[in-house]
Structure 1
Amino acid sequence: MAPSPRRRRAADETPTRGVTIKHLATELGLSITTISRALNGYSDVGEKTRERIIEAARRAGYTPNRNAQRLVTQRSHTIAWVQSDHDAKFADPHFVEVLAGALREARLSRYDIILAAEPPEGQLAAYERYVRDGSVDGFIVDVPRPEDPRVAFLKAAGVPFAVHGREGVVEDYGWVDIDNYGIFYNLAKLMVENGHRKFAFINGDEQYLYARTRRRAADTAIRDLGLPPDTVLHLEGTHPMGDAGYQLTELALADPDVTAIIYSSILFTMEGLAAITQAGRKPGKDIMIASMNDQLQYLNLAPLEGVVTLVNSSLRAGGRALVAEVIRQCETGKTGGTMIPAFFYLADGVRAETIKDDVLFA
């Protein structure tokens, strides 16, 4: 009896199940060693041969055995990301955006990410455990502080890692960042250029490098313009950035001389707009607003168009770049930095002699 169509299809699929390097070697007439080295990225396999092997593996549905790979390459294809065990952190949209980008890049590169949560006093012990047992190839470090002990430990351990942020000019470890200094230097100058002699800067938690750098940039811009330090009213939130935007904006508006506000986060801005409206002020009319916008996917910013000057930069792209940097170190042994671009979108009526280009790099 002839097999049914369903059985014929199943029989046709059988060769793609459990395909091994040995199957590929037989099909292509190559040695098992050549197949293995091509699939594991060794440079001693010619490019045409590598492409031929990869195409055959894809066509056959070959899936590498991770345990076997680890024995051969001494790599786990796993990246660790140790987080602070803080409930608010895992509800922070900024973190979620970076995580989404990191997970996507890891999937495309066939890496896994181990996400661990430890109290601050236990984080270094977690790094030590992972380094000691060799269960991961590298690490992601986020929200660094000045002289961060995590960075010092990983540098001393000599393992691949990438930091979301940086301290000054960095050449001895991998990093991903935006030009925090350049962005907020230009925003402060933009306020003065548009006639504002007293503006508020509602910043993030200044115990962290990104917020400290942003404050320093605004103060330096004011000093370079020959204006007094109290031109800027500094107000500081906590990390993670949450629901402080309304209260901090109320504090800013309590000073009658404040005619403009710079926000360090679009979350602060969305809440601050409510406080501005409640105070009877007209955003974009009698008070100028500028904000960093990390492109949080769930926010609808259409109502802000033409009203708020935005500096757009993708945290999701930052997450992808973090994983790519760790993998680059694993494969080449070389460290480097990635600057994520920022794009300026000016509100209606805003003069912008200061900003010569709408894209800021390092």
Structure 2
Amino acid sequence: MNLKQLSEKLGLSPTTVSRALNGYPEVSEATRRRILAAAKEHNYSPSSQAKSLATGRAMTIGHVIPTSSTTEMVNPIFGDFIAGAGETYAAAGYDMILSNVHIEKELDAYRDLAARKAVDGVIVHAPRLEDPRIELLREVRLPFVFHGRAPIEDSDYSWLDINNARAFERATKLLIDLGHRDIALINGDEHMDFAIRRRRGFEAALSDAAVPARPDLMVSDEMTETFGYASACRMLTLPKPPTAFLVSSIIVAIGVRRAIAQHGLQMGRDISVVTHDDEISYLRNGASEPVFTATRSSVRDAGRRTAELLLAQIANPNAAPAQELWECDLTLGSSTGPCPTAQ
């Protein structure tokens, strides 16, 4: 049954039926109850097109995915975030557009979405240094929420982030407490805000403990298994190799574990590893017990909540910016132990 047929059965105009189903206050409560009961009886739910006509909205949320020869946003972490956000959109009757564009065309993509009124708002991914997207989205009046924070003082925008600096400070202190002093940081791309904050937390913990930071034990790049493997292999052949690794993703940590095994060492006994775990759905950190000691925060939960913040902003555009900072859990696994050289 479509909207027209339901309207004819009720003897009401399609506009009245549509506005009742979409919660508009102009419809009396008695009429609304009658319409909702008929919709339930006939298994009718309004299409996104019908909702768009009734609300004047596109009923669609946008995600612009920038790519380049060195950067690839489409990864398992992003996939879990999108899955969580998609659950929220579906429950609210929204569709989703994913626009995969070269990073040099990213700003044009946002302008195009706004000009065509193709979306009601966007979630912005991977905040970076001197991020131009905040000013652009304000200029084109497109509601937005950042997943993460841009490293600027201006706080007049909505975001959801984890406390990256605090998480990596705690993780580094744990390794220091275990006697480690030669600690390697295998970080994400340090053009990105999350990686900048993680390095700050790492270096703060070293400074507090009067442990010298070693530049030869710090690298950053796209978070892939091969990056973790190659970085760990190089470091393990240094004249003074690390006794512990702090890693920005469980994907990278798997590569580090491969390098440790290839060098005839045992993770958790000879070499300790702490990673960040986004609790990726199909890449679990062990079953009953964690494999990796990890700072943990569900990226799928972050997707759900970031979508909720954006939909609330669309519904109430005059509300103050919403900002949420989530603390990470620190979970002990079998990948850490006392520093062998300190025993």
Residue by residue over 1:253-306, the C-alpha shift from the partner in whole angstroms, topping out at 9 and shown as x without a partner, is: 234352111110101111111111111221111222111111222225328946
Offset, 1:246: 0.7
1:246 equivalent to 2:232? Answer: no
Looking at structure 2, the residues matched to 182 and 145 of structure 1 have their Cα atoms a distance apart, in angstroms, of 19
Q: Which amino acid aligns with 1:102?
A: A
Q: Alignment partner for residue 63 of structure 1, among 13, 38, 45?
A: 45
Task: Name the structure 1 match of 2:80.
Answer: 97
Task: Name the structure 2 match of 1:265.
Answer: 249
Task: Name the structure 2 match of 1:114.
Answer: 97
Matches of residues 226-237 of structure 1 in structure 2 within 5 Å?
Answer: 226-230=210-214, 233-237=217-221
Offset, 1:199: 0.5
Distance 1:242 1:187, change over 3 A: same
Residue by residue over 1:194-226, the C-alpha shift from the partner in whole angstroms, topping out at 9 and shown as x without a partner, is: 111120011011111111111111112222333
Distance 1:46 1:283, change over 3 A: farther
Q: Decide whether the 8 Å contact of 2:279 with 2:285 is kept in 1.
A: no
Q: Decide whether the 8 Å contact of 2:272 with 2:335 is kept in 1.
A: no
Task: Name the structure 1 match of 2:267.
Answer: 283
* SS class of match (1:318): helix
Looking at structure 1, the residues matched to 184 and 259 of structure 2 have their Cα atoms a distance apart, in angstroms, of 14
Looking at structure 1, the residues matched to 208 and 215 of structure 2 have their Cα atoms a distance apart, in angstroms, of 12
Distance 1:45 1:205, change over 3 A: same
TM-score under structure 1 normalisation? Answer: 0.80
Q: Which has the larger radius of gyration?
A: 1
Looking at structure 1, the residues matched to 54 and 169 of structure 2 have their Cα atoms a distance apart, in angstroms, of 50
1:22 equivalent to 2:7? Answer: yes
Unaligned stretches of 5+ residues in structure 1: 1-15, 352-362
User: Which stretch of structure 1 is more off in the superposition, 160-169 or 341-350?
Assistant: 341-350
Q: Which amino acid aligns with 2:131?
A: D
Q: Alignment partner for residue 146 of structure 1, among 129, 137, 141?
A: 129
1:79 equivalent to 2:65? Answer: no
TM-score under structure 2 normalisation? Answer: 0.84
* SS class of match (1:191): helix
Q: Which amino acid aligns with 1:165?
A: G
Question: What's the Cα RMSD here?
Answer: 3.2
Residue by residue over 1:296-318, the C-alpha shift from the partner in whole angstroms, topping out at 9 and shown as x without a partner, is: 22225328946521222222222
Looking at structure 1, the residues matched to 90 and 208 of structure 2 have their Cα atoms a distance apart, in angstroms, of 46
* SS class of match (2:85): helix
Task: Name the structure 2 match of 1:293.
Answer: 277
Q: Alignment partner for residue 129 of structure 1, among 112, 115, 118?
A: 112
Distance 1:85 1:231, change over 3 A: closer
Looking at structure 2, the residues matched to 55 and 220 of structure 1 have their Cα atoms a distance apart, in angstroms, of 60
Residue by residue over 1:102-147, the C-alpha shift from the partner in whole angstroms, topping out at 9 and shown as x without a partner, is: 2222222211111112212211111111212222101121112122
1:40 equivalent to 2:47? Answer: no
User: Which stretch of structure 1 is more off in the superposition, 183-192 or 161-170?
Assistant: 161-170
Looking at structure 2, the residues matched to 226 and 251 of structure 1 have their Cα atoms a distance apart, in angstroms, of 26
* SS class of match (1:244): helix
Looking at structure 2, the residues matched to 55 and 232 of structure 1 have their Cα atoms a distance apart, in angstroms, of 68
Residue by residue over 1:133-166, the C-alpha shift from the partner in whole angstroms, topping out at 9 and shown as x without a partner, is: 2221011211121221122201232321111110
